Structure 1
Amino acid sequence: MYTGNDAVVMGREKKEGILTAEQIKISFDSVKGRLVKEAVKEGDYVQKGQILMEIDPTDTDLSIEKLKAEIAVLDAQIKSAENEKNIAHFHADTSNVQSNRQIEQQQAAINSARATLKNREVDFERKNELFKSGAIARASVDDAIMALDVARANVMQQEEALRRLLAGANAGEMLPTIKEEHAKAENISNNIAALKSQKKQKEVALKELEVAKSRLTLRAPEDGKILSVLQKEGEMISPSVPVIILETDRLYYDIYVGEDVAANLKEGDRIRGYAVTNNKEVIGTVRLLSKAPGFADLRQTREKGQSDLSGFQIRIYTDAQEGIMAGLTIGVDASGLNQK
């Protein structure tokens, strides 16, 4: 049914494919700079995590040291501000205790002065009655009046002293001066929060730089063989531009089948093939099942009242096994396509 000598048609007729190793283009991730170390050469076999190349880290190291110094300064400022806040709260609390004691003492003085005033009022009333009855002289009444005036003046003096202590606050309220001291401490707390926020931002920036530094060292993403080194020491490296081509240990081959065969296959099916050179069995897994390029289809059948027939590409990844390498021709027969 299918004729021609192109690779697709031959693959459909013979169900054979060339075993190919997957290749990876390796690049530096989001960093740039001058390449200072080329740790591998073409043909080297590398293991996952092995260092392949390094970009000059000088600028990044300097930026990291600068950020660390700035963070250390912020730590010192935060510690100093916290000490200042604690001292402010201590002074406010101490002043509050002292003021409360003074207020209590002054209140006691007022109570004593009022008691004295009451006694002087009683004494004046008593002596005034005695004077009216002629029992005592006028001088005694005058003395009582003078003592009463002194007692009244003393009460007013003690009350004024209390008002000065309260400085406009009502009894039981925090004094304005103490409020100011607490407000000062709260302002320091706000400053500390701002400093901590700045520190957090710089810590995030530091982590970003440390990540960027780690990316200056290019490591093998998996085991494989170096096929090509595209950049040399001393050259400038751009972000995400391939610098190494790595041939992995993952092997696959493609075969092409018709619609009738493709309809019975699905991705994940196990396929039994064989190496054409030594007939060694090769087991693999279907990873891709898709319509083949247009030139693989059977054309010009609509003129005969028939629908075109499509070819399908099957990509099979082989299991790791000894003696199987890239470049071998792998064949698959009808029984192999039914292997699950």
Structure 2
Amino acid sequence: MKLKAGLYIGIAMVFIIGGSLLAVKGKDAVSQAESRKQGILEAEQTTLFYQKSPGAIKEAGASAGDSVKEGEILFKVKLADEGDVEVLAPYDGLVDRVNVEKGDQVQAGVPLAVVQKNTYYTDLYIQESEIQQLEVNQSIDVHFPYSDQPTQVKGIVTSISSAPQFATLRMSREKGQADLSMFLVRISMDSNTDLLPGMTAEVKLDEITD
């Protein structure tokens, strides 16, 4: 009887210890998952609108996919009355789309091209309880876990909303109902040949030590 009792106690202890370890690991997994904040990689773009007197495209100096420098001549327009007008690149970047070609008639308000900046950004929603971990101009690692070769780049926190953007309703049987405030955080990073707009960007708050 004593042997059986000891055996039963030993089995019970194994289950208790094993269950405790699983619970601890489970909590760690949940904590890690909650620390991961994901957003979509975006590229800032500007549509160039023609702003001068009516005329015709005399020269189109850029095509879709071309890299351009700030101040570079993208178009020359011959005015209907006399003289030419130059349309310049607003910043270093990439020509995403060209809407006109040589000979096209243009007037004020006509979109000429779309130019994409050489910087990317992602917007994340961070809980009120976690927002104190971040500050403007802070350097932070940004992961791209679903790319063919998982990539990590350095990003900079460029803005944090001064007020909650929205509140989601959290329901708990133990604590009742409470509003969960979320803050909009923008993280910018340099463009990279391994990155494409539309990719999933991820920040792990548990990596932040300062």
The TM tier, using the shorter chain, reads 0.5 to 0.7
Evaluate the alpha carbon distance shift between residue 31 and residue 14 of structure 1 in structure 2; reply closer, same or farther with a 3 A threshold: farther
SS at match of 2:129: helix
Evaluate the alpha carbon distance shift between residue 339 and residue 39 of structure 1 in structure 2; reply closer, same or farther with a 3 A threshold: farther
Shift of 1:13: 7.4
For the pair 1:21 / 2:43, whether they are aligned, the reply is yes
In the alignment, the residues of structure 2 paired with residue 53 and residue 256 of structure 1 have an alpha-carbon distance, to the nearest angstrom, of 40
What is aligned with 2:168? 298
What is aligned with 2:24? none
In the alignment, the residues of structure 2 paired with residue 308 and residue 327 of structure 1 have an alpha-carbon distance, to the nearest angstrom, of 30
Q: Runs of 5+ in structure 2 lacking a partner?
A: 1-33
**Greater share of residues in strand:** 2
Does the 8 Å contact 2:62/2:75 carry over to 1?
yes
What is aligned with 1:224? 93
Does the 8 Å contact 2:39/2:200 carry over to 1?
yes
In the alignment, the residues of structure 1 paired with residue 180 and residue 65 of structure 2 have an alpha-carbon distance, to the nearest angstrom, of 44
For the pair 1:309 / 2:202, whether they are aligned, the reply is no
What is aligned with 1:331? 202
In the alignment, the residues of structure 2 paired with residue 288 and residue 241 of structure 1 have an alpha-carbon distance, to the nearest angstrom, of 32
Does the 8 Å contact 2:143/2:151 carry over to 1?
yes
Post-superposition Cα deviations, 1:156-178, rounded to whole Å, max 9, x if no partner, equal xxxxxxxxxxxxxxxxxxxxxxx
Aligned-residue CA RMSD (Å): 3.0
For the pair 1:285 / 2:156, whether they are aligned, the reply is yes
Q: Runs of 5+ in structure 1 lacking a partner?
A: 1-11, 62-212
Does the 8 Å contact 1:43/1:227 carry over to 2?
yes
Match for 1:234: what amino acid? G
Does the 8 Å contact 2:92/2:117 carry over to 1?
yes
In the alignment, the residues of structure 2 paired with residue 264 and residue 288 of structure 1 have an alpha-carbon distance, to the nearest angstrom, of 14
Evaluate the alpha carbon distance shift between residue 22 and residue 333 of structure 1 in structure 2; reply closer, same or farther with a 3 A threshold: same
Does the 8 Å contact 2:57/2:105 carry over to 1?
yes
In the alignment, the residues of structure 2 paired with residue 39 and residue 339 of structure 1 have an alpha-carbon distance, to the nearest angstrom, of 48
SS at match of 2:82: helix
Q: How many residue pairs are counted as aligned between the two chains?
A: 172
In the alignment, the residues of structure 2 paired with residue 39 and residue 30 of structure 1 have an alpha-carbon distance, to the nearest angstrom, of 18
Shift of 1:300: 7.2
SS at match of 1:266: coil
Match for 1:24: what amino acid? T
What is aligned with 2:104? 235
Sequence identity percentage: 27
Shift of 1:320: 5.3
In the alignment, the residues of structure 1 paired with residue 54 and residue 35 of structure 2 have an alpha-carbon distance, to the nearest angstrom, of 50
Evaluate the alpha carbon distance shift between residue 23 and residue 50 of structure 1 in structure 2; reply closer, same or farther with a 3 A threshold: same
In the alignment, the residues of structure 1 paired with residue 67 and residue 132 of structure 2 have an alpha-carbon distance, to the nearest angstrom, of 40
Does the 8 Å contact 1:272/1:339 carry over to 2?
no
Post-superposition Cα deviations, 1:33-54, rounded to whole Å, max 9, x if no partner, equal 2223222222223233332112
For the pair 1:42 / 2:64, whether they are aligned, the reply is yes
Post-superposition Cα deviations, 1:64-86, rounded to whole Å, max 9, x if no partner, equal xxxxxxxxxxxxxxxxxxxxxxx
In the alignment, the residues of structure 2 paired with residue 305 and residue 247 of structure 1 have an alpha-carbon distance, to the nearest angstrom, of 47
Shift of 1:58: 6.0
**Greater share of residues in helix:** 1
Evaluate the alpha carbon distance shift between residue 15 and residue 328 of structure 1 in structure 2; reply closer, same or farther with a 3 A threshold: same
Evaluate the alpha carbon distance shift between residue 318 and residue 300 of structure 1 in structure 2; reply closer, same or farther with a 3 A threshold: closer
Post-superposition Cα deviations, 1:113-133, rounded to whole Å, max 9, x if no partner, equal xxxxxxxxxxxxxxxxxxxxx
Q: What TM-score do the two structures reach when normalised by structure 2? A: 0.67
Match for 1:328: what amino acid? M
Does the 8 Å contact 2:169/2:177 carry over to 1?
no
In the alignment, the residues of structure 2 paired with residue 42 and residue 323 of structure 1 have an alpha-carbon distance, to the nearest angstrom, of 20
In the alignment, the residues of structure 2 paired with residue 234 and residue 339 of structure 1 have an alpha-carbon distance, to the nearest angstrom, of 59
SS at match of 1:268: coil
Q: Which has the higher contact order (CA 8 A, sep 6+)?
A: 1
Q: What TM-score do the two structures reach when normalised by structure 1? A: 0.44
In the alignment, the residues of structure 1 paired with residue 132 and residue 110 of structure 2 have an alpha-carbon distance, to the nearest angstrom, of 41
